[in-house]
Amino acid sequence: MVAVDYLLAGMISVLTGLDRVALVQIMISRPLVAGPLTGWALGNPLVGLEIGMLLELLWLGRLPVGAAIPPDDTQVAVGATVLAAGTGHFVGLDGMPLVLLSVLIAIPLGKFGQVFDKLARQVNDRLAVSGYNALMSGHTAKMERCHLLGLVSFGLASLATALVIVLVGTFVLFTFAPVLIGAIQEAGLSLQYSLILVGAAVLLGTTNVNRGISLFCTAFIGTLLVLWLR
């Protein structure tokens, strides 16, 4: 990857991060979109799609609504895609093993998104007070600047989260990939299915209990029928 690729990834990080809570909200912040979008910018949309699909289920029931600040799934998708697209040929991994390792490294680093998001909200609280005082004083231009600076806070928080994931993730990959490469390749398919099952369980946990049981039973019976028809 060259500097232009990282610049594009940074722009996507800011754009998708703003869509998360601060601007427009057309759902490009979802991992299923942010991952392929980052992969497309880096010339490998398939890797982004694989990462987005694995992460989407895990975070589908955890939305940044109101005062709730979950780990930043958007930047986890962006950062994991950058890791998978940019470090594979250096660590001797490719395909699904590299995708799984990148995802497993990026997920815990998403906690940094909570820290930066809280900082951005604290800054915006002060900007809101400044904007209100400016409006009461008749300085509408200053009020508008305060409003726009609120977007800058969220954009910088998203960029900082993605940067931490990429930098720390790259260090971890270069340090531990030679040790983990055998285990990841051996358990790749099982690990992939495990992440999908965990995501499905998380999703069912957010639904009505009776409805969740019905959905689970229907899916289980449907799977058995498909296997029997084969």
Q: Give this prediction's pTM.
A: 0.75
Q: Give the residue from 33, 38, 107 showing the smallest Cα distance to 72.
A: 107
Q: How far apart are CA 209 and CA 20, in angstroms?
A: 28
Tokens of 67: 């005062």
Tokens of 101: 């390792």
Indicate whether 163 belongs to any domain. yes
Q: How far apart are CA 230 and CA 158, in angstroms?
A: 47
* The pLDDT of residue 160: 93
pLDDT below 70 — which residues of the chain?
Answer: 1, 61-68, 88-94, 177-230
* The pLDDT of residue 102: 85
Indicate whether 143 belongs to any domain. no
Q: Which domain holds residue 109?
A: 3-125+154-186
* The pLDDT of residue 91: 63
Indicate whether 219 belongs to any domain. no
Indicate whether 120 belongs to any domain. yes
Indicate whether 193 belongs to any domain. no
* The pLDDT of residue 227: 62
Q: How far apart are CA 119 and CA 7, in angstroms?
A: 24
Indicate whether 95 belongs to any domain. yes
Indicate whether 209 belongs to any domain. no
Q: How far apart are CA 196 and CA 143, in angstroms?
A: 47
User: Rounded to whole angstroms, what are the CA distances from 174 to 79, 90, 191, 194, 198?
Assistant: 15, 8, 21, 25, 27
Give me the number of domains the chain comprises. Answer: 1
Q: 130 in the Ramachandran plot: left (φ > 0), alpha (ψ -120 to 50) or beta?
A: alpha
Indicate whether 145 belongs to any domain. no
Q: How far apart are CA 121 and CA 49, in angstroms?
A: 31
Tens of pLDDT, residue by residue over 120-175, are 888 888 888 888 787 788 788 888 888 888 888 888 999 999 999 999 988 888 88
